[in-house]
Amino acid sequence: MRIWLKNPDYESGVRLYSQFGTNEFLKNIFQQGESDYTRSKLVEELSGIIGNSGISGNSDPISKPELPHRDNSFLLKKLRHERQQIYRQIDANMFALTKARSESVLKETAFQILRLQSRKQETLDKIDHLELHGTLPEKAEKPEFTTPEIQRLYVQIWKTRKRLEKPELRNREQTQQLLKSKLELLDELRKEAANG
């Protein structure tokens, strides 16, 4: 074990701990994969086993080796930015929900808010996992049913409908055609996003 502490390799350390360690919970955690936390905890536990068992050998005090540090700050910053964008989209949809007049617009906006809430929760879970374990969770990503382009279309459609509510609108036919084309584009983009 002293030799391992001079040149720590995660996989061989896990095998050593499985053989000499007593904590079943930690054995399971170590076998789930390597992260900054599990590496440092593994070194700490194996150092403790050597200190407690009085394994002979070098009488030098055991020092923890320097472990390579993975810099996840960029990924964390990106996830936090994504979280802020989702919050903004939810706020915009909540505002649109208060202004919507027709039942179909109310339904669509409400469903969009639900999809954004789901995306928000996934992003928060990723941030938590990254902060705790140093890696992202290894789950198969579900296909996104919304894209930034779809979100922009929702805003444009809402603005176009607001313009149509004004009685003094000069180009009403053009605006109605614009609304129709945006709704058709929205349907196409939603189908594309759903099909992957």
14 in a domain, yes or no? yes
Overall number of domains in the chain: 2
Query: Are both 120 and 166 inside the same structural domain?
Result: yes
Query: Are both 140 and 175 inside the same structural domain?
Result: yes
Query: Are both 181 and 91 inside the same structural domain?
Result: yes
- If one compares 92 and 41, the residue with the highest pLDDT of the two is 92
Q: 35-49, 73-87, 131-145: which has the minimum mean pLDDT?
A: 131-145
Residue-wise pLDDT tens digits, 168-191: 888 889 999 998 999 998 888 877
67 in a domain, yes or no? no
Query: Are both 114 and 161 inside the same structural domain?
Result: yes
Cα radius of gyration rounded to whole Å, the chain = 27
How many whole angstroms separate alpha carbon 8 and alpha carbon 10? 6
Which pLDDT band, with edges at 50, 70 and 90, does 67 fall under?
A: very low
Query: Are both 47 and 95 inside the same structural domain?
Result: no
Distance linking the first and last C-alpha atoms of the chain: 50
Which pLDDT band, with edges at 50, 70 and 90, does 139 fall under?
A: low
Please give the residue range of the domain that contains residue 46: 2-53
Query: Are both 30 and 113 inside the same structural domain?
Result: no
